[in-house]
Homo-oligomer: A and B are copies of this chain.
């Protein structure tokens, strides 16, 4: 019986796939109702599955949330690393590639931002949230510091501190994300990206060779 179009949705799925489905439902639920408003009922309803499934695939709600944050962090990491490795770019262009990644729709949608900051808001209490996102942030910050250093030495901006530039960039990233979340009307992804590019060019004026 060669079924053509009819992608029959199987009742059961291997655990790995079901987990992803539940994580995505969790992201949607958090973006709609916040973390405190996200219940196992809201998640499973969003996924169209039954209540008990979360505790079958994840040990607890707590684990589901941790895995959701890890999922987002991995997704983010994958994105900027792939943009970075596209062809051979100059250090400055690599920096701009990271900026692009930061404000890419797939990472920086209103939905995702709401979820990121929902987790940040719980961060002070849950050490596990902090370490999960910190690992990835730090990695990127180190890469940025390295790129800044390359630009500084290559173009002769010796008065600048690469480490400080990287920290300021990281701060700008997070701060603009927050502003996009708080004032979506006043801040688009493009605005933010341009803002950061302008900042970088102000800090390190391109040598007019």
Binding site for B on A (CB under 8 A): 31-37, 110, 113-114, 117-126, 130, 133-134, 137, 160, 164, 167-168, 170-179, 181-183, 187, 195, 198-199, 202-203
- Closest-by-CB residue of B relative to A116 is B121
> What is the minimal beta-carbon distance from A140 to any residue of chain B, in angstroms?
13
Asked if A172 meets B179 with Cβ closer than 8 Å, knowing A117-B121, A118-B122, A121-B35, the reply is no
Complex Cα distance A98/B52, Å?
Answer: 52
Q: Quickly give the copy total for this chain.
A: 2
Q: Are A118 and B114 in contact (CB under 8 A)?
A: no
Q: Are B202 and A179 in contact (CB under 8 A)?
A: no
> B residues within 8 A CB of A118?
121-122, 124
Asked if A110 meets B124 with Cβ closer than 8 Å, knowing A173-B175, A174-B174, A202-B203, the reply is yes
> B residues within 8 A CB of A37?
125
> What is the minimal beta-carbon distance from A136 to any residue of chain B, in angstroms?
12
> What is the minimal beta-carbon distance from A144 to any residue of chain B, in angstroms?
13
Q: Are B171 and A195 in contact (CB under 8 A)?
A: yes
Q: Are B168 and A171 in contact (CB under 8 A)?
A: no
Q: Are B172 and A125 in contact (CB under 8 A)?
A: no
Asked if A164 meets B195 with Cβ closer than 8 Å, knowing A37-B125, A170-B179, the reply is yes
> What is the minimal beta-carbon distance from A208 to any residue of chain B, in angstroms?
14
Q: Are B121 and A121 in contact (CB under 8 A)?
A: yes
> B residues within 8 A CB of A187?
167
Complex Cα distance A176/B167, Å?
Answer: 8
Complex Cα distance A8/B121, Å?
Answer: 38
